[in-house]
Each structure stands twice: as structure tokens, then as C-alpha cells.
Structure 1
Amino acid sequence: MANARSIVVFDGECGLCNGFVAWLIRHDAEGRFLIAGSAGQVGKAVVDRAGLAPHITESTLLVWDGTGHVQSDAVVAVAAGLPWPWRAATALRVVPVAWRDAVYRFIAARRPRIEAEDPACGVPPPDLVGRWQSQLATWEDVN
């Protein structure tokens, strides 16, 4: 990667995913994470660069930091990049990945869906528009 910032690829049409990204932006005071909607060209490029199937982000969060982290490993990767108390969630690593991913898939299967005006990057809450846009990943961030 051109920089040390991780890229979070998410389903911009998913209400839960958009909510998670809004939460992430609010708690990522140091700007360690960039975001990319899975339907956009940058998001698709990250999925390709990670060597994953294109459909993976239809129900799975992807965190790219030179390695592709999906499902519960993606959640743990985000927690590792945030300050305390959120970093404490990295303790989930002691739980077997099969169990963590089963819980992740259970939640993902029941996630609320909302239509997004721009599925390439999701719909930010009005109070986060500026920060959301400033944290959008670009082509340079993928290479």
C-alpha cells in the first residue's frame, strides 16, 4: 500500500454496514482507516488486490492492510487500529475463528438493508459528510 492506512470495504447499500462505517469514522480520531464502498471502482480494486472473489463484500466486511481480513478477522483488525476501550475487542482473537465467523454470518444474514443514494460509498449521516468524504480511499491508496 502507498500509505500505512487500512482500507475498509463495505456494502454501501447495507444499513448496518453504513452504521458501522459512521461509528468507525466517529471513533477513528487519528484517521487510520480509509473507506470504500464495495460497488465503487476503488472498492472493487481492493477486493481484486486482496485476491478475493468479487461477491465477497455482498455480505462481508473487508479490511485491507496489505492482507485481506474478512468477517470477524476484519472486525478484530478494525479494533486493533482504534484507541482504548475499542482496542480491547482484539481479545476476541482467543475465540476460535470458526465460532467468531459463525456469529458474524448470523448477524450479516439478518442485517437491515436500506437503499443508498450512492452505493459506491454509502450514505453518510449529515454530521459526518465532510469526514466521510475525506476518508474515502483512492486509486493511489490501493497501489
Structure 2
Amino acid sequence: MKSKDHKIILFDGVCNLCNGAVVFIIKRDKKNVFKFAALQSEIGQELTSKFNIDTSQVDSIILIDGDTHYEKSSAALRIAKYLSGAYPLLFGFMILPKFIRDSVYDYIARNRYRWFGKRESCMIPTAKLKNKFL
């Protein structure tokens, strides 16, 4: 695994919103910055263990960038920074206090299964996208 060359996005593999976000990111990752792994996968569990991430507290999207990891709104805004189009402008929301950003993030995360549904199993990438996943 060449994780040093890419930033890694860990996501809830059974969450429809999270899977939609992964597809959204892949379409806008023109510079091939990101690799993906479901939190429920073996590599996802290895990385959460390595970074001491409590998945009972953070269970949606996590960004791993080298030896650092970002959770919740910080992860989402840092991901936006690398996307094509106007999405990097969203990084400006980092000026808001983390507790405000994360409270909005947590509200959406708490309701994501109710609003967007849940899958029976993790997403299986198509052959074309397989190289984007760890």
C-alpha cells in the first residue's frame, strides 16, 4: 500500500450518504489525491487502531494524511480543499470554531441512516474504480 502517496478517506461502508460522498469525491478528485477504505474493512480497522480512533465516537468520514488524521467537519473541509471546481472555497469554513462545525456535522451524521438509508453490506467498487480503494 502506498498510503504515503495518497490521502486516505475512511468511510462508513454501509451508509448511503457516505457511499454517495465517496462517489462525489471520486468524480471531483482530478489529481488522484485520495484512496478509500470502508471503516468496516480490514484496512479500515487497522488504520483506526493505528491512529487510536474510537469508531463509537467517529463513525462516518475520517481523513488520514500521512501521520495525521482529521475527523468530522475538519476531515470534510480538508477533503473539499483538494476537489476540482469551486469546492476548495468550502475550506474557508475552517475559520468557524470547531465545536460549531462539528455540531452541524454530528447532527447530519446522527440522522444519516434515517434520511438516506443503510446498505446491508459495504459498497463493492466497480472494476474501473477498484484502484481507488485499499
TM-score (norm 1): 0.82
Which string of whole-angstrom CA distances, capped at 9 and with x for unpartnered residues, describes residues 30-83 of structure 1?
A: 21000000110011111112221243453x310001211000001011012223
Pick closer, same or farther for the CA change 1:27–1:116 going to 2, 3 Å.
Answer: farther
Q: Which residue number in structure 2 is paired with residue 93 of structure 1?
A: 94
- Structure-1 separation of matches of 2:44 and 2:97: 28
RMSD: 1.7
Cα 1:2–1:15 shift into 2, 3 Å: closer
Partner of residue 43, structure 1: 44
Q: Where do 5+ consecutive residues of structure 2 fail to align?
A: none
The 5 Å alignment of 1:106-121 reads 106-111=107-112, 112-117=116-121, 119=122
Question: How many residue pairs are counted as aligned between the two chains?
Answer: 129
Runs of 5+ consecutive residues of structure 1 not aligned to the other structure: 138-143
For the Cα contact (< 8 Å) 1:25–1:131, is it kept in 2?
no
8 Å CA contact 1:12, 1:38 repeated in 2? yes
| Higher normalized contact order (CA 8 Å, seq sep 6+, divided by chain length) | 1
Percent of paired sites with the same residue: 23
Cα distance in 2 for partners of 1:7, 1:55 equals 20
Say whether the 8 Å CA contact 1:9–1:35 is kept in structure 2.
yes
